[in-house]
Homo-oligomer: A and B are copies of this chain.
């Protein structure tokens, strides 16, 4: 059966504004006005206001009373917290997969695709493929609640990483580190390998972030 229900206007508005922030069309601390959003995305007053409320609750924008709404910049604390949280949760997920001897064939497929198409990927596509690898770890737990935790961090990862992160040099490293995790999952050291990988990724993020200022 085809899904022919149109998305509610509010969801469309949230998605448009969030994508514009992730892709850097709306810049840090840029003011988001009804006029701008109407011109750029054809979104009218009511869904705009509803969307802004939600985006503020989710930490994408901030409002200064009587002044306006702005794109909330990512801080060093955000980067620290997201990587620390991922390190805590993902190392434990890997340990869980190791202990239960859960099949990681699907993870290997993600890696095969990443390696085969490494040269063709745009930066954005490579980053998405990197995310697909980590997402698969959560998915292999088969625990919907854990998977929803991943969704909470993935948008911010996209937003920090989108522009400059996946330079060709880093691609080979990422592939090697991912393969170390896959091997580690088979011999019981994957939890250590993923902590190493996340530490290296965080370092790249920070150096990119420092250069953006």
Contacts and interface: CB of A to CB of B under 8 A. Distances in A.
A146 B152 CA distance: 11
A153 B146 CA distance: 11
A82 interface: yes
A12 interface: no
**Residue with the highest number of chain B CB atoms closer than 10 Å, among A82, A88, A89:** A88
A85 B153 contact: no
Contacts of A92: 88-89, 91-92, 95
Contact of A88 (B82, B84, B146, B153): B146
Interface string A134-171: 00000001011110110011000000000000000000
A152 B141 contact: no
- Number of copies of chain A assembled together: 2
A68 to B, nearest CB: 20
A145 B93 contact: no
Nearest to A152: B145
A88 B81 contact: no
Contacts of A82: 145
A205 interface: no
B96 A143 contact: no
A47 to B, nearest CB: 14
Contacts of A85: 143, 145-146, 149
Given A81-B143, A85-B145, A88-B146, 20 more contacts: A81-B145, A81-B146, A82-B145, A84-B141, A84-B146, A85-B146, A85-B149, A88-B89, A88-B92, A88-B93, A88-B96, A88-B141, A88-B143, A89-B89, A89-B92, A91-B92, A92-B95, A145-B153, A148-B152, A149-B149
28 contacts: A81-B143, A81-B144, A81-B145, A81-B146, A82-B145, A84-B141, A84-B143, A84-B146, A85-B143, A85-B145, A85-B146, A85-B149, A88-B89, A88-B92, A88-B93, A88-B96, A88-B141, A88-B143, A88-B146, A89-B89, A89-B92, A91-B92, A92-B92, A92-B95, A145-B152, A145-B153, A148-B152, A149-B149
